[in-house]
């Protein structure tokens, strides 16, 4: 099967099965989304959603968090992965937003990735979810599913290469949704260990390229 046809069938399936989809992170503003995405690195959305209500109650915006000590932020996020580093990133990120952007989250990629704790993946999430841009964030789920479904090749061996291949073949209007389609499929169906192939609607289409499909850290 040609790659273009594979993309067409995969996208048609997701359009039908998940016509409306969004991040599972809970937030009340773009700033809170940014905080949640930073915290979600190598941690489950479920855990982040348990932590952020109290954090956002105490620090609802950049200006309030910019005044916080790192140790104070740490106490709210101590149960997430790498809490010390993330507390430092959040404090510094909030201060930079206040100092350079009047407390508002910018939409420009370079300005986003200049913020402490914000890499390309996080910036792409913010651009897509908050600003509706056609950006593709590649996390471990997106990386794994893209390889297993044959949407990318073995030579696409970095998140950035996968991002470029996906955005080349996926229509612009679908790209913000496609991130969530692939992510959720990887989270609940095409799991890293013991994928649920018997429950997968793409079972007959999937080449099941399981070997070496997991992102190396």
Which are the catalytic amino acids? 121, 139
> Which residue, 149, 152, 141, is CA-closest to 9?
149
Q: At what angle do helices 175-188 and 159-169 cross, to 10 degrees?
A: 120
Token reading at 187: 């989270």
Token reading at 32: 């809170």
**Which phi-psi region, left, alpha or beta, contains residue 35 (left: φ > 0; alpha: ψ -120 to 50)?**
alpha
d(Cα 180, Cα 47) in Å, to the nearest integer? 18
| DSSP structural state of residue 154 | T
């Amino acid at each position: 099967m040609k790659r273009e046809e594979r993309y067409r069938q995969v996208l048609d399936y997701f359009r039908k099965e998940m016509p409306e989809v969004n991040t599972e992170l809970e937030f009340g503003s773009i700033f809170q989304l940014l905080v949640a995405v930073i915290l979600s690195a190598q941690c489950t959305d479920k855990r982040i959603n348990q932590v952020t209500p109290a954090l956002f109650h105490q620090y609802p915006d950049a200006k309030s968090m910019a005044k916080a000590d790192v140790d104070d932020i740490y106490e709210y996020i101590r149960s997430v992965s790498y809490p010390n580093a993330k507390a430092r990133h959040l404090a510094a990120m909030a201060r930079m937003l206040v100092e350079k952007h009047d407390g508002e989250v910018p939409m420009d990629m370079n300005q986003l990735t200049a913020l402490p704790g914000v890499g390309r993946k996080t910036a792409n999430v913010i651009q897509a979810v908050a600003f509706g841009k056609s950006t593709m964030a590649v996390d471990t789920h997106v990386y794994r599913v893209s390889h297993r479904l044959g949407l990318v090749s073995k030579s696409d061996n970095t998140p950035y290469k996968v991002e470029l291949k996906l955005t080349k073949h996926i229509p612009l209007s679908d790209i913000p949704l496609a991130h969530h389609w692939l992510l959720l499929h990887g989270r609940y169906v095409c799991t890293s260990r013991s994928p649920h192939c018997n429950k997968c609607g793409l079972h007959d289409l999937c080449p099941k390229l399981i070997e070496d499909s997991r992102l190396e850290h």
